[in-house]
Chain A
């Protein structure tokens, strides 16, 4: 099997696992980690597609995705610290006071 196609399969599988982590886990820290895993899967896919088509824009996209992931995790974790201060736990089931 082609190496690039293997990496695409790996990317799809990592996205699957990341989405499962986001949906199934009850700890908010682990949910944030699942989002990071999904972003990492997209990065793999971007790099391989840009390599296959002899382009370099895909790798620039990866650079920007990494920057946005860093910003997102910093803000997410500071929101999480506020959440912990208010509720005393870091569970998704506790965050049900906002009625819609």
Chain B
């Protein structure tokens, strides 16, 4: 593997990974919905920082603008809108005691299998890629090439608007349809 990332960046990435794990666990074990939302927000910001450190500036910007901005505002808005009543809080406290039941172990099997599948794929691509390198497809966007054509954002724009423009148009129409659907669904009565 060519050394794409300097040693300082590697230690920054390690620190960010540990922070992200901590915030994800905070999200999982949060007692209220708003604490969970704040944990998710911190996870999204940390992953934006990871994107920025490995050099993907456009993805980092979009992550902050769309994920940490728009989507989190939607979530926090609906948490505020759908306020829990006192009775529900009492019920939650009663149910909280039954958190660690035997079926939790059965529930853990699926997520653990997913995690190990992920790790297996990453591990095999990491350590067996030198042996199968003549079969794997390497693109043209090396660090030098990206610097030569004027940065990561420019390279993405070229690829998006010159090669994959049909996908771009389709996704914009899809977004419009989703917007109309959200308005129609949230309306009380359609007249």
Contact = CB atoms under 8 A, between A and B. Distances in A.
B97 interface: no
Interface string A53-83: 1111101101110111111111101111110
Nearest to A81: B186
B126 A21 contact: no
A9 B125 CA distance: 13
A54 B139 contact: yes
Contacts of A44: 47, 50
B51 A47 contact: yes
Contacts of A17: 24-25, 27-28
A85 to B, nearest CB: 8
B121 to A, nearest CB: 8
A44 B27 CA distance: 18
Contact of A13 (B33, B115, B174, B183): B115
A21 B54 contact: no
Contact of A40 (B28, B43, B78, B179): B43
Contacts, number: 223
B107 interface: yes
A67 to B, nearest CB: 5
Interface string A28-60: 011011001100100111011111111111011
A70 B66 contact: yes
Given A67-B175, A74-B74, A77-B74, A13 B24 contact: yes
Nearest to A13: B21
Given A54-B139, A66-B62, A81-B78, A73 B71 contact: yes
B88 A89 contact: yes
A24 interface: yes
A2 B181 contact: no
A25 to B, nearest CB: 8
A66 B55 CA distance: 19
Contacts of B24: 13-14, 17, 37
B40 to A, nearest CB: 5
Contacts of B119: 8-9, 12
A27 B110 CA distance: 20
Contacts of B137: 53, 55
A27 B28 CA distance: 12
Interface of A: 2-17, 19-21, 23-27, 29-30, 32-33, 36-37, 40, 43-45, 47-57, 59-60, 62-64, 66-75, 77-82, 84-85, 89-91
The 9 closest A-B pairs by CB, nearest first: A8-B122, A71-B178, A55-B139, A12-B118, A78-B186, A19-B111, A16-B115, A78-B185, A74-B182
